[in-house]
Amino acid sequence: MSFTLMDLGAENFEYRASIWNWKTALEIVKSFDIISEGKLRQMNYTATGVSLDKEEAHAIGEKIRDEILPKLAPDKRIFSDLSITDAPDDGTLYHDDDEKWKNYSASYEWLKEFSDFCLKSKGFQVF
C-alpha cells in the first residue's frame, strides 16, 4: 500500500510514501501536535483526500528539519515508536506481534525528502 501526497498549488508536484515510511511519518507528525486527531486518523487511509493547508504543511516540514533530522544524521532511521537506530533496514518482514513495530521506520534521507516536499508545497492532499 502506498500514499500519494499531491500539492494543492501545483498539479504535477507530488510525493509518494510507502506504508512502511508513512506510518512512522504520521507518528512523528502526531508528536508535533500540529494537526487534529481527525485529520491524522484520515491520513492513515489511502484515498481519503484529506487536506493539510500551507501553514500545516510548512510547520510539519520545519519541525522535521529542525527537530528530527539533527537526531538522525544521515546514517540513522527512526521507528514508529520514535526510537532511533543506526542498524540499516535489512528488509526483514516481522510477523510476531511483539516485533511488528520493527517493520515501520523512516530513514534520514526519506524524512529529508518529505520535509522538503512539505516546505515547498502550498499544502497537500493525501491519496
pLDDT digits (tens, 9 = 90+) for 17-53: 999 999 999 999 999 999 999 999 999 999 899 999 9
Instruction: Provide the CB-side half-sphere exposure for 36 (13 A, CA).
Output: 7
Q: Is pLDDT at 1 greater than 90 in this prediction?
A: no
pLDDT attached to residue 61: 98
Measured distance CA(121)–CA(127) in Å, rounded: 15
Q: Name which residue leads in pLDDT, 75 or 110.
A: 110
DSSP 8-state class, residue 80: T
Domain that holds residue 103: 2-126
Separate counts of helices (H) and strands (E) for the chain: 5, 7
- Specify the pTM: 0.93
Question: pLDDT tens-digit profile of 107-123?
Answer: 999 999 999 999 999 99
Whole-number Å distance between alpha carbons of 106 and 104 = 7
Cβ(16)–Cβ(3) below 8 Å? yes
40: closest CA among 49, 27, 53? 27
Contact indicator for 51, 124 with CB cutoff of 8 Å: yes
> What confidence score (pLDDT) does residue 53 get?
97
Count of CB atoms within 10 A of residue 103's CB? Answer: 17
Q: Which three cell numbers stand for residue 79?
A: 521507528
Domain count, the chain: 1
What pLDDT sits at residue 26? 97
